[in-house]
Amino acid sequence: MKITMLGTGNALVTKYYNTCYVLDDAGRTILVDGGGGNGLLRQLELAGYRWEDMREIIVTHRHIDHLLGIIWMMRMICEFMNEGTYLGEANIYAHDEVIALLRELAGKLLKKKENRFVDDRLHLVEVHDGETREISGQKVTFFDIGSTKAKQYGYCLDLGDGKRLTCCGDEPCGEPGRKYAAGSTWLLHEAFCLDGQAEIYHPYEKHHSTVKDAAELGAKLGVENLLLYHTEDGTYGERKKLYLAEGKQYFSGSLYVPDDLETVTLT
């Protein structure tokens, strides 16, 4: 299993794409979130993926830096279904609010001849807190992270042999997510900025963490590998070096600060 980051930035960046990624187990893929627009299609292409192959999609929440790229995926899928060149089906998994919003947006934004494929061959699949589904051959358990901003689901993916990958979405892993995150082999966690730059980026007002916070949490939860994403872009070019230096002071496991389009093997 490997993860390719299509984007690693927060909602306000211009130098990175918004945080979203592809999980890939020998060609069986899951796309998680879509970023803020059709840049998703470009990022997929640059990462060596065909958008047509992203048939299993998870959306964590309705913020536009995660959701609007999904509208583009829906448009592409439905348009090419209509033309007869996209065969088979596709699934989008999310909680009730996201599913309702995607259905409404598709109804309002897509052409009628395209929208007819929504809920026919493009399935909008509502998932619930604690529910486990098999997606692209993986056992994925969704959980409500308990966000006070917008309802958000993280997930825990069974990597086999007792190994787990937990994604807490784009907020600090709170109490509801900790039972999944604790002892995870991999934790995907947001880190808005460096601890020393909290005065500049105000992570706490936005319900985000510093690198130090995320690293301390990773240590407390006993995770083996911590991957940080959803960051500012003021440290563009230096981010990996600076974030690793700060994070390693507080987390002794393996720490990753991938750039856009970087692939990490989830061993």
Residues near Zn ion (CB under 5 A) are 11, 65, 170
Residue whose CB is less far from Zn ion, 114 or 172: 172
Rounded CA separation 195/218 (Å): 15
CB of 118 closer than 8 Å to CB of 110 = yes
Minimum CB separation of residue 191 from Zn ion in Å reads: 12
Q: Which amino acid is at 133?
A: R
Tokens of 128: 């619930």
- For residue 250, how many other CB atoms are within 10 A of its CB? 18
Residue 19 carries which DSSP code? S
First to last CA, the chain: 7
Residue whose CB is less far from Zn ion, 170 or 213: 170
- Residue of minimal Cβ distance to Zn ion: 170
Task: Work out the angle at residue 193's Cα, subtended by the Cα atoms of residues 188 and 195, and round it to the nearest 5 degrees.
Answer: 110
Minimum CB separation of residue 263 from Zn ion in Å reads: 21
Minimum CB separation of residue 39 from Zn ion in Å reads: 15
Judged by DSSP in three states, 14 sits in coil
Q: Which amino acid is at 217?
A: L
Minimum CB separation of residue 80 from Zn ion in Å reads: 28
Residue whose CB is less far from Zn ion, 77 or 168: 168
Phi, psi of 206, rounded to the nearest 5 degrees: -100, 15
Residue whose CB is less far from Zn ion, 56 or 65: 65
Residue whose CB is less far from Zn ion, 111 or 149: 149
Task: Work out the angle at residue 222's Cα, subtended by the Cα atoms of residues 219 and 226, and round it to the nearest 5 degrees.
Answer: 65
Residue whose CB is less far from Zn ion, 7 or 247: 7
Minimum CB separation of residue 130 from Zn ion in Å reads: 23
Minimum CB separation of residue 50 from Zn ion in Å reads: 25
Rounded CA separation 203/193 (Å): 7
